[in-house]
Amino acid sequence: MYENLLKTVTNLGSPKVLVVGDFMLDVYVYGDALRISPEAPVPILKVAKTEHRCGGAGSVAANLAALGAAPHCLGVIGDDRNSEILREKLTEAGVDISGLLEAANRPTVSKQRLIGLAQHRHRQQLIRIDEESAEPLSDEINEAVLSAYEEKLPEVDIVCLQDHNKGLLSNSLCSRMIRLANEADRKVLVDPSPASDYSKYIGATVITPNRKESSAVVGFEITNTETAAGAAEYLLRELKLKAVVITLDKEGAYLRTENTGLIVPTRARNVYDVTGAGDMVLATLAITLAAGCDYETAVQLSNIAGGIEVEKFGTATVTVEEIVDEIVSQHGGKGGKVHAADSLVSELDRQRRQRKTVVFTNGCFDVLHRGHIDYLAFCRRQGDVVVVGLNSDSSVRTIKGPERPIYGQDDRAVILAALETVDYISIFDEPDPLNLIKKVRPDVLVKGEDWAEKGVIGREFVESYGGRVVLARLVEGRSSTSTIEKMKSLEAKS
């Protein structure tokens, strides 16, 4: 499976995808929430920066472009400043926007989020302000949309309908688009709007509702595999679909086809923000299915991509490179935890592409004790990836004397690798780790507080590029040397 996922995701090509739906502008206003207003019991937000991102169907298109596809947009936006910004962002993403039609009598759908920055770092959404019109489109605009759809359909490989119920994908227009796609032998993927009636999606190829949306349609709550199976079977049958993909949050997704019904699991995540996760799933399914992928593999890859997206803030894109990194990471990396310096650098490059903070420490770690465990737990709290530079046997002898180490370097590496707090280990021969530190270039360098007066090796180098040096408090009376001396004393008395 591991090799198949890698082979598939690195051979997606650049299929042309027609993205039809409600194109939106997501606005993020970040500010420091320092105090409560004297006018009302609300926080005062001192604006620090403002970001604009593609939302709704625009998010799907941007995700497709990031994955290497060639998305073509078809939708309706307003004649306003937000439409200008949205066009700019989509163009920057590499998306064809020739199918975005302007309607002077309605605004571009926008969602403005005010984000408080606690301690200048931790983001907390305070309020969302929506500007939109969900009124039905005029007959003239509907005909223009349908005409553009018929013109673009023969040029694309697959169609995505992203429905937020903002007036574009009416029952009649949606049904006609699906019928025309079927006649043209094009798959149609639907991310449905929250509704109790999905009849306008009859005849689509795939539908991707989440747990809540599916429950509203089928009339019962999805709480386990059995109820998910029942809901998927109902949707498959009633809507005459080829496949149903019900997304189930941390449980993954339930896939139902004519011949298959199964849970496709996903890895547990530290969910930062679920905004845009459904867009990412739809985009990944579209590019993988357009590339000829089978449904189960497509859902596996969409789970991975959606999982990466929810660890980011707001609507965000995911690249093929990030998916490859995640697949490799889920399967234990390319060589476990123990790496030579050059191999370690390659692994850390992969972690940094995922914006992980690299922490480095070093030592002999001979005869592991509680002090080591507490120390490495402290290292873990300083960042995302902990690298241990481990003194080789010859290096330990140089430092500690000819009777050390008690355990050889391979044994010590295996013991460290068994700890959850340690991600990578690299053995070095020199008496000090400076050369290894220069290769690793850690974001955080950790040493025990006993190095405060001796001077931390590598401090000047790490601080030269903005890294931090942190001193850890040590557990009093715990050291390998004292443990070994106690063992010798007990042996002498026996």
Active site residue 366: no
333 close to 347: Cβ distance less than 8 angstroms = yes
Within 8 A by CB and 6+ apart from 186, the residues are: 153, 156, 157, 158, 159
112 close to 29: Cβ distance less than 8 angstroms = yes
Q: Among the options 96, 279, 423, 443, which is catalytic?
A: 279
Q: Which two tokens stand for residue 261?
A: 């019904």
- 472, HSE (Cβ side, Cα atoms, 13 Å): 24
Nearest to 311 by CA among 269, 266, 248: 269
Residue with the two structure tokens 């673009």:
152
Q: What is the longest distance spanned by two Cα atoms in the chain?
A: 99
Q: Which two tokens stand for residue 305?
A: 């991509």
Nearest to 302 by CA among 58, 239, 293: 293
Buried b / exposed e along 229-243 (16+ C-beta atoms within 10 A)? bebbebbbeebebbb
User: Which residues does the annotation mark as catalytic?
Assistant: 279
